[in-house]
Amino acid sequence: MCDCHEHHHNHGTKMPALLRVFIAILLLITAIYFKLTGFGEFLVFFAAYLIAGGDVLLLAWKNILRGAVFDENFLMSLATIGAIAIGEYPEAVMVMVLYQIGEYFQHKAVAKSRKSITELMDIRPDYANVEINGKIEKKSPEEINIDDIIIVSAGEKIPLDGVIVEGQAVVDTSALTGEPVPRQLKPGDTAVSGCINTNGVIKIKVSKKFGESTVAKILKLVEEADSKKAKAENFITKFAGIYTPVVVAGALILALIPPIFVDGQFGVWFSRALTFLVISCPCALVISVPLSFFAGIGGASKHGILIKGSCYLEALSKPQAVVFDKTGTLTHGTFAVTEIVAEEDITPEELLELTAKVENYSNHPIALSIKKAYGKDIDSDEVTNVEEIAGMGVKALVDGYIVLAGNEKLMQKSEVKFEPVHESGTVIYTAKNKKCLGYIVISDEIKEDASEAVRGLKELGIMTEILTGDSSAAANYTALMLDPDEVYSELLPADKVQKIEELIKTKEKNKSVIFVGDGINDAPVLTRADIGVAMGVLGSDAAIEAADVVIMDDKPSKILKAISIAQKTMEIVKQNIIFAIGVKILFLILGAFGFVTMWGAVFADVGVTLIAVINALRALK
């Protein structure tokens, strides 16, 4: 294939490439002005040719030795050496000069796009401040251990994830989330690496080593984003691999068949064959299509959306259904106890205390809300044999009694007699020795932009569903507020996977099923869906690892932005493919019949590539 990514210039400085072009043009003008002839003419033109295109010839030779024959360097070398062989010295020199100029501007355009993306993700911390023996020392973030205390002053980046232990600050999260709204941090709050402290001094107890920190994971995602190719990129790779040998064969046929069977003018047809070779290089495709995807991924990162590869960007552009988890995705996941209903032989306060003891070891948002409502310290010695039952609740021994706290499924599985209730929130039943003592209602607030997300997707003709392990009452309340196409409640993680698989089986060809979630129990579903979208910074590590797309804040409406960016990127990719192939075919026909000279061929090749590259860069916006 035409390996157009491997540029042969040394662009470390601007002068060498441009200086070579300038000297070659001076020699060309000298030869023409003084009307040199004979060996002197050849010597000056050949010197100009080597100065302008020596590196092209060298790289072509190296590629031939390693088996990569049909690339752009080979095509340019073959065409220009042929031009010299038939005495078209000025054409040979100008082909190399124009090619070098085009390559220079093309390289600058690609470098600009990479710089833009690098600047968007300029979140890697340079150092971490550690207090040692009363003095602050700067250390590499990689040297910091878990539970170390680091100090972050105003204007500095937070280098590692941790918990605020002292001080307050307002942090700028825009590098991660794309949102300009700052966050207020106080003792006890989680500090996320990559954010910038805008005021105050804070001390942070490190909770993750640098390699596991949010900023390190983001940088890794961005670095690996171009490793998973889209179908369009794979098509171009295969196309170039077949196309280039075919056009070389076409040039050979053009040079031999017409003069033998038509008019005998070998020189004319040989010149046309050389022009045909120059036109044939598929650089516009090989460069602009991957660059379009790269720019699209960079444009998405500007909005706080990390896409792990171009194949996922392509799949994002054609969704048939978007399926949401409820808690923490469409709702804030910040539960609060809103009602306590106890049986006659226990008070509401006693019911809350007993439930809080059972939930003491759980970090589930529901458990945290119950412990927060109880508000007292719990003696861990009172609670033993704690067992979390996925999708149902918790079982434990409290003062020697078997106590259950969970949903209807847990009560039914444990053969507890109870009266099911239907509330707008999540209902947690508590039972002691298989006797139901009452229930606690916990409500979760729907996110401000959740309705916008569901409504926007439906307006695009995309099916929306909610899958949740929550009660039917809580799920139906959410459905009433958001109006999705379908809602399924009281699902275990395996049930969610089954629902996703059913959707995948019935989807249209070339369409995708997207799942959006944030919890650790969503990891299997995120992996099974065509596209798994994790609610990033506030989501679990497992969800981020399993997902194909990471939304760096907790706004579900960002899925609309991600789909929009993906669709616009794919439009640009298609435009470049159609434009490049169309112009190539037109000029190949014109070149074969002698309507385009070799100079025009270079303008066509370089011009098409530059236009396609500039068009690709629109995806950054």
Query: Which residues is 527 bridged to in the sheet?
Result: none
Please give the backbone phi and psi of residue 439, each rounded to the nearest 5 degrees, phi first. -150, 160
* pLDDT value of position 25: 92
Per-residue pLDDT at 59 exceeds 70: yes
CATH number, domain of 381, equals 3.40.1110.10
Q: Is there a single domain that holds both residue 141 and residue 115? A: no
Confidence of residue 4 (pLDDT cuts 50, 70, 90): very low
Does 396 lie in the same domain as 320?
no
pLDDT of residue 218: 65
Total number of domains in the chain = 4
Same domain, 414 and 498: no
* Residue (of 466, 470, 416) closest to 441 by Cα position: 470
Q: Is residue 321 located within the same domain as residue 370?
A: no
Distance of CA 286 to the CA centre of its chain: 21
Of the three residues 95, 120, 145, the one that is the final residue of a domain is 120
The predicted pLDDT at position 296 comes to 87
Q: Identify the residue with better confidence: 139 or 115.
A: 139
What pLDDT sits at residue 494? 83
| pTM greater than 0.75 | no
Together in a domain, 176 and 287: no
Mean pLDDT of the chain: 84
Q: Which of 180-184, 378-382, 513-517 has the lowest mean pLDDT?
A: 180-184
Whether residues 81 and 172 share a domain: the answer is: no
Question: For residue 546, what pLDDT is reported?
Answer: 73
Active-site annotation, residues: 325
Q: What is the pLDDT of residues 435-477, one digit of tens each?
A: 999 999 988 788 889 999 999 999 999 999 999 887 787 788 8
CB-based contact 621:569 (threshold 8 Å): no
d(CA 535, CA 518): 5
d(Cα 612, Cα 289) in Å, to the nearest integer?
8
Decide which of 443, 475, 497 is a domain's last residue: 443
How many Å apart are CA 574 and CA 420, to the nearest integer? 56
Query: 516 and 395 in one domain?
Result: no
Has residue 396 been placed in a domain?
A: yes
Please tell me the least confidently modeled range out of 29-38, 100-109, 241-250.
100-109
The residue with greater pLDDT, 221 or 94, is: 94
Residue 465 and residue 323: Cα distance in Å, rounded?
5
* Domain boundary residue, one of 70, 100, 120: 120
pLDDT value at position 43? 94
Least confident of 110-119, 332-341, 358-367, 595-604: 110-119
Q: What is the pLDDT of residue 172?
A: 82
Q: Clarify whether residues 214 and 148 are in a common domain.
A: yes
Quote the domain boundaries for residue 88.
Answer: 1-120
User: Is 249 a member of any domain?
Assistant: no
* pLDDT band of 131, cuts 50, 70, 90: confident
In a domain? residue 308: yes
Amino acid type, 46: F
Q: Does 252 score more than 60 pLDDT? A: yes
Per-residue pLDDT at 230:
66
Same domain? 456 vs 592? yes
What DSSP string describes 91-116? HHHHHHHHHHHHHHHHHHHHHHHHHH
CA distances from residue 382 to 345, 376, 619 in whole angstroms, order as listed: 21, 14, 60
- 214 and 284 share one domain: no
**pLDDT single digits (tens) 291-331:** 888 888 888 888 888 888 888 999 999 999 999 998 888 98
SS (H, E, C) 20-60: HHHHHHHHHHHHHHCCCCHHHHHHHHHHHHHHHHHHHHHHH
Does the residue 240 lie in any domain?
A: no
Asked whether the predicted pLDDT for residue 221 surpasses 90, the reply is no
The per-residue pLDDT for range 391-427, each reduced to its tens digit, is: 788 999 998 899 999 999 999 999 999 989 887 778 9
Q: Which residue has the higher pLDDT, 49 or 78?
A: 49
- For residue 230, tell me if it sits in a domain: no
The verdict on residue 228 lying in a domain is: no
Same domain, 477 and 621: yes
75 and 172 both lie in a single domain: no
**Is residue 157, in this structure, part of any structural domain at all?**
yes
